[in-house]
Structure 1
Amino acid sequence: MKNTQKTLILVIIFATIYACGTKKDTFISRNYQALTTKYNVLFNGKQYFQEGVNAINEEYKDDWFQQLPIEPIVFDEDEFVIPKYNNGPGTGFGNSRKKEEVQKELTTFEKAEEKAIKAIQIHGMNIDGYERNRQIDDAYLLLGKSRYYSQRFVPAVEAFNYVIANYPQANLIAETKIWRAKTNIRMDNEETAIETMKLLLVVRDTLEAHLPDEIKEQGHTALAMAYVRSDSLQKAKHHLQLATRTLNNRAQAARNLFVLGQMYSQEGKKDSASLVYQKLIDFKKAPYKYKIHANIELAKNSPNDSTANVVLEKLQKLIKDRDNRPYLDELYYQTGVLHQNNDSIQLALDYYNKSLRAEKGGDKQRTFTYEKLGNISFKQDLYQQASAYYDSVLQVSKDTLNLRIRRIKRKHKNLASLIKFENIVAKNDSIVRIASLSEDEQKQFFENYIEKLKTADEEAAQIRLNQLDFGDTNNGLQSADKGNWYFYNNQSLSFGKSEFQKIWGTRKLEDNWRWLEKSTIGGGTKDSAQTKKVNLKYDLDTYLSTIPTEISEIDSLKIDRNQALYELGLIYKEQFKNQKLAKERLVRVASLQPAKELMLPINWHLYEIYTNLGDVSSAEKYKNVILNQYPNTKFAQVIQNPNTKFEEEVAVNEIENTYKEMYYLYKENKFEEVITKVDEFLPTITNSELLPKFELLKAFAIGKFKDKEAYKTALEFVAVSYGNTEEGKRAKAIVAQLEK
């Protein structure tokens, strides 16, 4: 009896297994395979797929300064993976993976792909050319979607095509067509994608059956993607508008709204953009990153009228909200922009600096903030400060090919020569002024300077000491039973000792220990070598020994300073069009008895500057100097014949002949004469194409009888002033060689 029962049970089990097999078209087998596929294999595959999508959304970093892509994913368009194996319709591969591919850890999308293939190969019920397992179409859709995110577009299209060809009545056929269209877009087949999407959204939706809102959103989003890729932005906007009529997919809907607002902003349609951004702000289910940036974009589009105050108040509320800490750099920056637009420059500067100090500030945001600060400094004639800000932009930015960064780089280069000449003037003025003092005055000057150094160093050392945590008993520096006294902290004590020795040396504990003359421990010699070595920066004799005493050395400093002042006058006048600063530099150099060859061009430039400023009496002064002292020069001819364009009076061949004459002088080693003649001739050919040649020849002449620094300075002027010419490029190359 027992054997009969066992046999019966085995028969029932085998019969059940047979009835549930994939080769038998029965009610039990169809439902068993469908349930197993849906709640086992496909469930796990969809879980892997969703994990991969979530990871992409979390890792993708949006560049809010540019138009966002409609789909938040970046594919390498040079990498398309085409399979060389195919063990099933639309599967792309079977169990014949290469060993190295199996050993390599699979991505979540590859795991999802394997689950889809397993569902197709193990649970498929293709009987008499008809698939009996109603879950297999879902498996093919999952397969195609997984390949899409793995950037295997060709096999992805195969999977989608298989669904469309073999399951035309499936409830997921519309979604499959949308994914196929997106894949075609990635393969640069935008026309095919547009055609199929129009058939789906127009023909099927109107003639056959109304599509669900979710499918319409996906379809119009895909069409917008296709039109963006084909540069049909008006049509892209139209379909983004249709895609955002309903907001079922909150993440994609919010993104579509933001991109649509950006498109309106780029076209200058601020009102339309503001309406779209406001709709996004009011969309309660939208991800917060889109809402906060919609507020920022709304502020950018605000007009400079009474509404600007309302926008400023809103930004202030957003700044006070603790949830907005990750966005403070952008909020502070935009607040600064609004204040700058309202001519509240000091408030703008305060907020720009707050933006830079924000803890979670991004590098790209910092480049915009530094640029704004640089531009403000430039407009206020603070060129050295502007150069420092532009340099910060270049230090922070990683995108050296960006047109904005390249423009800032050119600005920074143009300021380089100006700053160098300003530094020469400041340094030489200081040395000449100190050299002109009496010995007692020089000593007093440096004693005061040394005392300031000591005070500053002591304060800096004390600040560093205060920054240490003297009272933290958990840092292992003091035992738990001791107090917070400074001398119980070994680290603080050691630091203080080293700071003391760095400033004062190893001195005996005695009265008046701070005196410089006190000897160090271990030696009784006054002003010993060790003391001098330790206290070199506080040694009065060290500073006094650096003061030039030779008249020739002081005269050389004055010549370099005067030349720098003259070059500054030209740079301010010609490059930066700052007549005020150009006038100040040239007037000053004229009062310092510069080299004889500079007097004529100085008077000429000052005549032009005062004429442009409308100061007739001052212009008349320099005009008379030229007419009386240099009556036979071209400058005098220009003044006497103001209605004749001087550059037209000098023929091109005459300019070329003049250049040849100067070049022959250069070959004859008459370098000083070359420089004099070039300085006299240059103002007469301000618009000539040969101007860079004369400047470069002058630089070469300077290099022959002056020092390396003067040569380098002259070359840098040519490189900066005529950077796009052959002469400018040549000068730049020589400067690079000199710096090696």
Structure 2
Amino acid sequence: MIIVAAACSQYSSRPGAITFHNVAARYNAYFMAEQDMAEAEFEMQKAYKENYNQLLPILLPMDSILAQPVKPKLQDAIKKASIVAEKHQNSKWIDNSYILLGKSRLYLGQWADGLEALRYVYANGRDESDKNNALILLMRAYIEHKDYSNALGVAEYLSQQPLSKASQRDFYLTKAYLHQQNGEYLTSVAILEETFPLLKKSTETARIHFAAAQMYDRLGQYALANKHYRSVNRNKPNYDLGFYSNMNSLQNEVVLDPKRDVTNVGFDKMLRDRKNDDLKDHVYFTMGLLAEHKKQIPEAVKYLQMAAAASKGNMQQKAYTYLQLARIEYEALENFEMSKAYYDSALTILPQEAPEYRLVADRKRALDNFVTQYTIVSTEDSLQRLAKMNPAQLDNKIDQIIEAKEKKRIEEEEKARKAQIAAQNASMQQGGGNPLVTGGERRFELFDPALVNKGKIDFKRAWGNRPLEDDWRRSSRPLRTLTGNNAAAGADSANVAQASQENTGLKKGTPEWDQVHALLKKDVPLSDTAFAVSQKKKEDALYNLGKIYRFDLKESNRAIAAFERVLSEYPKTQYKDEIYYLLFLSNEENAAQKESWKSKLLSEYPTSTYARLVNKTTDTGGTSGNATKEYEAMYKLYADGNYTKALEDIEKNLPSYKGSSLEDKFALLRVFLIGKVRGKEAYGQAITEFMRLYPTSIYLPRLKEMQEFNSLSMGKR
């Protein structure tokens, strides 16, 4: 027995011992580990939700969150694979077990342990094929961590190694995945074209064809894209994959042939198919994109609104629809309030883990501020035009405004009443139910974020900012007629019709009309003081609009127009030096204009902070050598309470500190001094200016805290 045991030792090199451990490792521990991995990958693949609005990844991401439901299987795979390393050291399956162990740890998010196992196979593996497979998986792990340089290094090495057919297929797919994730679509599709002959017909192959087609779409090669969309249907796709493939193919046909109309290319057939009832929103969305591509903006908006209405539980698609509507309202229609409302709606339902979430949130914040400033400019413009009229013209104009508002209100209320009657009739035909539920869709209006936001905008326009309190309308009851209140909501058809007959609006000459007239006239700046206040509001708002265009919305041309308007309408504006500097920055593509604004700034404001920033001359080392002493002298003035003198000195000498290691420190002291001398508003502007001019400063976190505290204190005040 001792001899037999010794002969079967895992450290023995005898043929009998090796054969025994090969069989034991392969058909016991490794087999069960491999089965666990196969089941776990199948479950993860089934649970993975494809986003067909985005580029499909060639390989499914290694997501530890996605792996949580199958964590017990992966842990069991690790346990079984470890048995091979512990008890079958002389087995030929030890390399495979380490690869399986490393893969399981990568799925679980245990990156360090997973990478270590794969590197061990490469360094100590006995089989060249297994070593190559470990490197392919290592390359994929680097891609998941966005370590593209190391992934490319591994790919370079593998490209020089003899690979088996299976390893070559996996290597090509992984390399194509690397270039896809790095945004190199042309290289990625070129590799995939070499890979397809190595792939068997399967749903996964159909999915890779779809990813290739999407990359060809992004490269503008729509005919090649359609070739791969057709290949999807020849490779056993699931229903959704086949649906999106057909829809994208139809979209490309319209793009390739401008004479083809959106309505007769085949989308109508997809809409009639009952199997597509829950996918109609995608069809309408695509039709909206094509209509916009053909410059048919009203049709595009109509299709996108139909897409939003047709969404049945697919909040992600609805979010993309709102984003598209927001972009069209902003860029094509310049309806900024509606654009803001759609961004609000998209942000409400877009998952925070979505790649667009942060971009949409930033855009929404910028647009919030933009709409505020734009409304101020529009309002003050209108009021100033009214103020320049003679009294008789002014009264007539105000009466016309009231009449137009009343006419619009009555039309909207009539339209709403007719829609309500239709909804009630449809509800009764279906056997009763909630009259606010329309058609068979059973949607309540207050569940639609776009309608809610539109209602908020309409309310604020008519009533202003009202606190939450009882009887909030009592102080201006006649204004109720301007906005309309659907008094017939929930009533039957007879009550609705009666309300329609009674809805005659305000009558000119009545006390109610006169009260509304007086309220509107009260806002017109008729005195010199009121007109000056209005001018200041408009000046500040135009200046802020220019900065929002330049820094938040990244629209240099509109920023230039806004800044030049400030200089034209307000030649003595307090922002003149900064506007010169911002015009210098905004004219990136116009060298002559850029140089012109630089010359203006240097000639009119040679000692300003902005002149220092555009001045290309470098300072000598002597200046920076004295910078510390000068800073200490100015800080002493600050500490002694001599704020005005310290601020004058620092602003006078600030250009001389350019290039010094203490440059941002001087600027920070200037922010403190402005807060002491010029008040909270100027202090807030100085903080914003510092954050923009010194984005890499070590003092930036402190400035952000100061900005937040200043905003809170301004709000309380």
TM range (shorter): 0.5 to 0.7
Deviation at 1:292, TM superposition (A): 3.5
Deviation at 1:516, TM superposition (A): 3.6
Whichever of the two has the greater Rg, that structure is 1
Equivalent-residue separation in structure 2 for 1:71 and 1:610 (angstroms):
42
1:225 aligned to 2:137? Answer: yes
For 1:274, the aligned partner's letter is: V
For 1:182, the aligned partner's letter is: L
Equivalent-residue separation in structure 1 for 2:522 and 2:504 (angstroms):
23
Residue of structure 2 aligned with 1:59, choices 37, 47, 69: 47
Distance change >3 Å, CA 446–CA 304, structure 1 → 2: same
DSSP-derived class of the 1:634 partner: coil
Equivalent-residue separation in structure 1 for 2:554 and 2:41 (angstroms):
56
Distance change >3 Å, CA 682–CA 149, structure 1 → 2: same
Residue of structure 2 aligned with 1:730, choices 695, 706, 710: 706
Equivalent-residue separation in structure 2 for 1:49 and 1:609 (angstroms):
56
1:498 aligned to 2:488? Answer: yes
Structure 2: tracts of 5 or more residues without a match: 1-31, 106-112, 143-149, 259-289, 445-484
Contact persistence 1:601–1:679 (CA under 8 A): no
Residue of structure 2 aligned with 1:199, choices 123, 126, 140: 126
Where does residue 428 of structure 1 map in the other structure?
380
Q: 1:112-135: CA deviations, max 9, x gaps?
A: xxxxxxxxxxxxxxxxxxxxxxxx
Deviation at 1:441, TM superposition (A): 1.6
For 1:730, the aligned partner's letter is: M
Deviation at 1:559, TM superposition (A): 1.1
Distance change >3 Å, CA 545–CA 470, structure 1 → 2: farther
Contact persistence 2:410–2:505 (CA under 8 A): no
Residue of structure 2 aligned with 1:514, choices 500, 504, 509: 504
Q: 1:292-326: CA deviations, max 9, x gaps?
A: 44333344157957x5444367659989x994478
Distance change >3 Å, CA 385–CA 501, structure 1 → 2: closer
Q: Structure 2 matches for 1:263-412, cutoff 5 A?
A: 263-265=178-180, 273-278=188-193, 286-288=201-203, 290-301=205-216, 307-311=221-225, 323-324=239-240, 328=244, 346-347=292-293, 363=316, 370=323, 398=351
Residue of structure 2 aligned with 1:564, choices 541, 547, 556: 541
Where does residue 606 of structure 2 map in the other structure?
634
DSSP-derived class of the 1:425 partner: helix
Contact persistence 2:370–2:545 (CA under 8 A): yes
Deviation at 1:273, TM superposition (A): 3.3
Distance change >3 Å, CA 431–CA 660, structure 1 → 2: farther
Where does residue 245 of structure 1 map in the other structure?
165
Contact persistence 1:70–1:256 (CA under 8 A): no
1:445 aligned to 2:401? Answer: yes
1:149 aligned to 2:76? Answer: no
1:459 aligned to 2:395? Answer: no
For this pair of structures, how many residues does the alignment match?
556
Contact persistence 1:364–1:397 (CA under 8 A): no
Contact persistence 2:623–2:656 (CA under 8 A): no
Where does residue 262 of structure 1 map in the other structure?
177
Distance change >3 Å, CA 498–CA 383, structure 1 → 2: closer
Equivalent-residue separation in structure 1 for 2:640 and 2:529 (angstroms):
26
Q: 1:91-123: CA deviations, max 9, x gaps?
A: xxxxxxxxxxxxxxxx9x9xxxxxxxxxxxxxx
Deviation at 1:561, TM superposition (A): 1.5
Equivalent-residue separation in structure 2 for 1:406 and 1:418 (angstroms):
18
Distance change >3 Å, CA 408–CA 691, structure 1 → 2: farther
DSSP-derived class of the 2:405 partner: helix
Distance change >3 Å, CA 442–CA 452, structure 1 → 2: same
DSSP-derived class of the 1:514 partner: coil
Deviation at 1:442, TM superposition (A): 1.6
Distance change >3 Å, CA 200–CA 298, structure 1 → 2: same
Q: Percent identity?
A: 12
Contact persistence 1:329–1:361 (CA under 8 A): no
DSSP-derived class of the 1:199 partner: coil
Deviation at 1:262, TM superposition (A): 1.0
Distance change >3 Å, CA 281–CA 546, structure 1 → 2: farther
1:555 aligned to 2:546? Answer: no
Q: 1:171-226: CA deviations, max 9, x gaps?
A: xx767863454125535342576269943566xxxxxxxxxxxxx9xx96566325
Structure 1: tracts of 5 or more residues without a match: 1-43, 80-106, 110-146, 203-215, 248-252, 479-485, 519-525
Where does residue 87 of structure 1 map in the other structure?
none
DSSP-derived class of the 1:498 partner: coil
Distance change >3 Å, CA 372–CA 477, structure 1 → 2: closer
For 2:431, the aligned partner's letter is: N
Equivalent-residue separation in structure 2 for 1:364 and 1:294 (angstroms):
23
1:182 aligned to 2:100? Answer: yes
Equivalent-residue separation in structure 1 for 2:636 and 2:412 (angstroms):
55
TM-score (norm 2): 0.53
Equivalent-residue separation in structure 1 for 2:411 and 2:240 (angstroms):
42
Q: What value does the CA root-mean-square deviation take over the aligned residues?
A: 7.1
Deviation at 1:592, TM superposition (A): 3.6
Residue of structure 2 aligned with 1:584, choices 561, 565, 571: 561
Q: 1:481-529: CA deviations, max 9, x gaps?
A: xxxxx9xxxx9xxx98624999xx99988987624469xxxxxxx97xx
Distance change >3 Å, CA 373–CA 362, structure 1 → 2: same
Distance change >3 Å, CA 567–CA 286, structure 1 → 2: same
DSSP-derived class of the 2:488 partner: helix
Deviation at 1:454, TM superposition (A): 3.0
Deviation at 1:590, TM superposition (A): 3.7
Deviation at 1:383, TM superposition (A): 9.5
Deviation at 1:558, TM superposition (A): 1.3
Distance change >3 Å, CA 664–CA 257, structure 1 → 2: closer
Equivalent-residue separation in structure 2 for 1:156 and 1:149 (angstroms):
10
Q: 1:577-611: CA deviations, max 9, x gaps?
A: 86654553344334445656556776787799899
Deviation at 1:258, TM superposition (A): 4.3
Equivalent-residue separation in structure 2 for 1:614 and 1:234 (angstroms):
42
TM-score (norm 1): 0.52
Deviation at 1:291, TM superposition (A): 1.7
Q: 1:415-439: CA deviations, max 9, x gaps?
A: 7766654443233323333444412
Distance change >3 Å, CA 303–CA 611, structure 1 → 2: closer
Contact persistence 1:702–1:711 (CA under 8 A): yes
Equivalent-residue separation in structure 2 for 1:421 and 1:432 (angstroms):
16
Distance change >3 Å, CA 408–CA 294, structure 1 → 2: same
Equivalent-residue separation in structure 2 for 1:663 and 1:384 (angstroms):
49
Q: Structure 2 matches for 1:706-717, cutoff 5 A?
A: none
